[in-house]
């Protein structure tokens, strides 16, 4: 009974709190079991990996700038938190778009390590 109460309290605390970009870095690093590398994240972001697109195809190689959808040409606001305070503040949105964009780019989901690396790089951009 006691740990059910603790679990409920923990769930409530996390859902009531807004997430920050750093929380996602921490979460992905924990899932990956290793430290992230911003350098590896930078390479990953601009490399095509079998498909037609890289992450940079839509988010540009400098994600402090606005991007453009490679297919629909729709404007995309900057992905880097330094340039866009709304980024990486909502787990549902982050998970949905990682899943979708990784599938579009790599034909598979991104590993926790890849997500951690991208986060580390995006957080390092000024
Ligand atoms: C074909 C275009 C396209 C490609 C390629 C693409 N994205 Fe995106 N991405 C989008 C669009 C569209 C959105 C949602 C609209 C928005 O949030 O501005 C988005 C949103 C995101 C978000 C949501 C962040 C947040 O909190 O708002 C993340 C994370 C993301 N992309 C990461 C990536 C990564 C990593 C890659 C490469 C594996 C990638 N994207 C490749 C178009 C793309």
Q: Token pair for residue 60?
A: 């540009």
**Which pLDDT value is given to residue 18?**
77
Pocket of ligand 1 (CB under 6 A): 53, 55, 57-59, 69-71, 76-77, 79, 87-88, 93-94, 97-98, 101-102, 104-105, 110, 118
Q: Work out the angle at residue 67's Cα, subtended by the Cα atoms of residues 51 and 48, and round it to the nearest 5 degrees.
A: 20
Residues 89 and 19 sit within 8 Å (Cβ to Cβ): yes
Domain span at 79: 20-124
Look at the chain and report how many structural domains it folds into. 1
Query: pLDDT, tens digit, for every residue of 80-121?
Result: 999 999 999 999 999 999 999 999 999 999 999 999 999 999
**Which pLDDT value is given to residue 12?**
58
**Beta carbons within 10 angstroms of residue 74's beta carbon:** 9
Domain CATH for 65: 1.10.760.10
For ligand 1, atom 37, the nearest C-alpha belongs to 55
**What's this model's pTM, rounded to 2 decimal places?**
0.89
């Amino acid at each position: 009974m006691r740990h059910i109460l603790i679990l409920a309290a923990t769930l409530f605390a996390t859902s009531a709190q807004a997430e920050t970009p750093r929380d996602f870095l921490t979460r992905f690093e924990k899932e990956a079991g290793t430290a992230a590398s911003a350098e590896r994240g930078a390479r990953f972001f601009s490399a095509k990996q079998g498909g037609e697109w890289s992450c940079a195809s839509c988010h540009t190689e400098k994600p402090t700038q606005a991007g453009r959808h490679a297919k629909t040409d729709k404007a995309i606001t900057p992905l880097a938190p330094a340039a866009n305070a709304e980024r990486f503040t909502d787990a549902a949105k982050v998970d949905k778009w990682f899943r979708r964009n990784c599938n579009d780019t790599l034909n598979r989901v991104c590993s926790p390590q890849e997500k951690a690396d991208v986060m580390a790089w995006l957080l390092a951009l000024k």
